[in-house]
Amino acid sequence: MQKKYCEDSCCSGKAEVRKTAVFAKKIAVFAVAVILWLAGLVAQRFFGEIFGPWAPLVPLGAAYLLAGLPVLRNAARNLGGGRLFDENFLMTIATIGAFVIGEWEEAVGVMIFYMIGELIQETAIARSNVSIDALLALKPDKARVLREGEWVEIPAESAVIGDIVKVRSGERIPIDGMVVEGSGSAEVDMSMLTGEAAPVHASAGVEVYSGTVSLDGVLTIRATKTAGESSAAKIVELVRNARSVKAKPERFITIFARYYTPAVICAAVLVAVLPSLFGAEWTVWFRRALVLLVISCPCALVVSVPLGYFAGIGGLSRRGIMVKGAMHLDSLSRAQFVAFDKTGTLTKGVFSLVRIEPANGLDKLSLLEIAARAESESNHAVAKAVRQAAEENGILKKEKVQIRELAGLGIETEDGVLVGNRKLLADRGISADMPPTPYTAVYVARNGLCCGRILIGDVVKEKSADAVVALRRLGVSKTLMFTGDTRDGALSIAENLGIDEVEAELLPSDKVSALEKWTARGVTVFVGDGINDAPVLARADVGVVMGSGADVAVEAADVVIMTNDPDRVPEAIKHSRKVRTLITENVVFALGAKALFITMAVFGVANMWLALFADVGVCLIAVLNSSRALVGRR
């Protein structure tokens, strides 16, 4: 593993060096081509009479080859591979034709400005890579672990589950784990992972994640995952996958170009040939045909559409929302129905105190104290929730109490206190005249009287209601809840949150069946977190998983939210719609501009310089518009 780690690091470093060197070389070639082009223009203007009319051809020809060699090479390669009709072919025949009719400087200008567009495109892509590269850098190289009583530095990949890891102030945490000890007011910056600016207090027992930064104090952490299974490693894999998936509109543009290019070439041939058949001057119409070809290059379409999606993925990654590919980003923008799992998604997924309902003259804290005392030795999840509530209210007493566990009923203490379900009280002939509840009820009785009950349930997350409201504002047709929990409990939570429809008591296969009824009606998003959600996450048009969810759910999902906040779902939908709007603007603008300038070319209004703007200028405007998808943080 250590060898593989070193190889990956070396390969990554070498790749970055190569990219930088290649880009620097392109800049140098561009600079020389521009100098030669300007020299040709000067020679043509001032030294034509001295050195002859052909003198400018030397610097202009050299500039043409320098700037246009990639275009000429791609055109030749595509021609050999049977891919004749693309923008490289259009550029080649248009500029060669310009040389034939003596427009040397314009031919070079086409290649120069096309090269400018390529360089700006690469810069824009590099800018969109910044946020993603920052996430790739989350994966720390080294870990300081305790081995045979001494702290030693090893590659993070070599750390194993159970290792004790020390992280100093300002260092990045190398592996997922549980804090064993945190000195002083130790805090962890989770912003690179979750998008949240507020640091998290890292006391003993708090879970921390690789890639986050220890801000203050020294942390001692027990590793709970290997480096390959850590949060940072999963993010790296998600980002790599995001770069390789194409969206449907992107494929449409590729197909569109196959038909668009031959149609343009046919139109150029007709413009060049037909008028001459009726006595028009051939050179005039041939020039117009060449201008038409240059104008028609589909650069703005084939560049700006994929760049828009890529920028959109980068923009969401800065918000702690990882989208696995452009296809999912596009589907997210068309979401009509959003279905949520309940436990762990809309709720916190742990038993907590919901409400205390005292009876027969007892106050709330006294009832809680009696119940916590009786539950002090129990390991049941409900008992832990009662003790936790008592501790938070400062009334948990550390005292030994003799208890007797009553299977399926509850607990009886040595002094006759009963704590358990309604059936326990009924078996003892104690009346508990209290209305039904969707929560787990812990009844308390003493001296033959019901003292009240404590309601324990899965508490709704603070931002769940905000998420439902935001989805409704975005125009989502229906919000749904799919859960394996009881119908009464699910309906109670759905009513509080304003969710439109509920499907309860579902097995994983039932969730898939329930979802399919909605996917048949429109684009459906499912939001979950558990292992049982994996099938429905994979089946949904867009599966969204919380970052703390089970590994198999993260693998099955299309979008991963790095926090447990449901309100990130409408945020992701809103941003994806912004990206789709930008791409639509690019397509409409590019096609409209092309149609206008082609018409001008046919009627002889547009010259080669205007053709340059139509080709490169439209492309640059579209690229800059696509880059807006990167703007803004949460």
Residues that are catalytic: 341
Note whether 302 and 253 are within 8 A (CB). yes
β pairing state of 219-223 and 164-167: antiparallel
Best CA proximity match to 90, nearest among 286, 264, 251: 264
β pairing state of 501-503 and 410-413: unpaired
Beta bridge partners of 121: none
Total Cβ atoms within 10 A of residue 310: 24
Best CA proximity match to 456, nearest among 549, 368, 393, 528: 368
- Sorted by sequence, the CB contacts under 8 Å of residue 325 that are 6+ apart come out as 241, 242, 244, 245, 246, 247, 313, 558
User: What are the strands of the beta sheet with 337-341, ordered from one edge?
Assistant: 321-323, 559-561, 542-546, 524-528, 337-341, 478-482, 501-503
**Euclidean distance between CA atoms 598 and 609, whole angstroms:** 13
C-alpha count within 13 angstroms, C-beta hemisphere, residue 597: 29
Note whether 207 and 194 are within 8 A (CB). no
Q: Would you report the helix, strand and coil content of the chain in percent, each value rounded to 5?
A: 55, 15, 25
Interhelix angle 568-602/326-333, nearest 10 degrees? 100
What single letter denotes the amino acid at residue 222? R
**Euclidean distance between CA atoms 78 and 101, whole angstroms:** 26
Please state, in angstroms and as integers, the Cα–Cα distance from residue 145 to each residue in 114, 168, 470, following that order.
54, 12, 45
**Euclidean distance between CA atoms 114 and 106, whole angstroms:** 12
